[in-house]
Amino acid sequence: MDTIKIKQVRSAIKRPADQKATIKALGFRRLNQVVEKVATPQIMGMVNKVKHLIQVVD
């Protein structure tokens, strides 16, 4: 399976509740944290929804 590493680079403070929930569902707990996820269509949709708050790392 193909995996991606994503890093939270902006805070979810003052963001809509659905974006906060998406950040939490992706597994982020703090800024600059890197998580590795399997690149399923569901995860990619979540990444697309909060793309302004995260960064895909290589």
The domain spans of the chain are 3-57
pLDDT in tens, 10-47: 999 999 999 999 999 999 999 999 999 999 999 999 99
Question: pLDDT-based confidence at 2, cuts 50/70/90?
Answer: very high
3-state secondary structure of 32: coil
Q: Assign 58 a pLDDT band (cuts: 50, 70, 90).
A: confident
Largest distance between two CA atoms of the chain: 35
Domain 3-57 top-level CATH class: alpha beta
Q: CB-based contacts of 57: which residues, under 8 Å, 6+ apart?
A: 5, 6, 7, 34
Query: In a 3-state reduction of DSSP, which class is residue 57?
Result: strand
What's the average model confidence in pLDDT over 44-51? 97
pLDDT score of 1: 79
Res 26: pLDDT: 98
Structure tokens at 27: 């597994």
